[in-house]
Amino acid sequence: MLDAALDAGHLWAVAITLIAVAACILLHYEVSLRLWQRLERSHSTLRRRFLMLAFGLFAAHIAEIWLFAVAMALLGEHPLAGELSGIGAINFLDYIYFSAASFTTVGYGDLFPTGPLRFMAGTEALMGLMLITWSASLTFLEMQRHWSSRHEN
């Protein structure tokens, strides 16, 4: 039983998933840090600062979705790693769509992973929840500062 769980497809799924997770966390950390530093130094209007934060975090999430989509597409090339199913031929945009549905935990169900690829999909959902919450926390902090400074004026 243990031998079946540790075949090459599963090992590749775990390895590529861990690389995607590490890349997404590092990307999100760097984007968040740079945005926050820029907000601290900014003399822009509060509206402009908030929009810079919102669009910057949105771009980070899009990049993270694409990172997972690329990882899934690469993993989908391994004959033992499983595949996306649910429609006929799968192309790269289908991987992006599935990645976005997984990352945001929407999970429409029209596409679904089979085999070891399921590990990556489940991990992406957890990662998306974590990173979206991180972004929401930063946005809350900026909004709190925005509202505090408006009440002080």
Is residue 97 over pLDDT 50? yes
Is residue 101 over pLDDT 90? yes
Residue 14 tokens, joined = 């775990």
Domain count, the chain: 1
- Of 123, 122, 131, 72, the C-alpha closest to 97 is 72
Cα 19 → chain centroid:
13
Overall size of the chain counted in residues: 153
Q: Where are the alpha helices (DSSP H) in the chain?
A: 2-5, 8-41, 46-76, 92-103, 117-152
**Which tops the pLDDT comparison, 151 or 128?**
128
Residue 26 tokens, joined = 């590092």
125-137 pLDDT tens trace: 999 999 999 999 9
Give percent of the chain above pLDDT 90. 60
Greatest mean pLDDT range, 77-86, 103-112, 118-127:
118-127
Instruction: Place 153 in a pLDDT band, splitting at 50, 70 and 90.
Output: very low
Mean pLDDT of the chain: 89
3-40 pLDDT tens trace: 555 688 899 999 999 999 999 999 999 999 999 999 88
Structural domain for 144, as ranges? 2-152
Which CATH number covers residue 121? 1.10.287.70
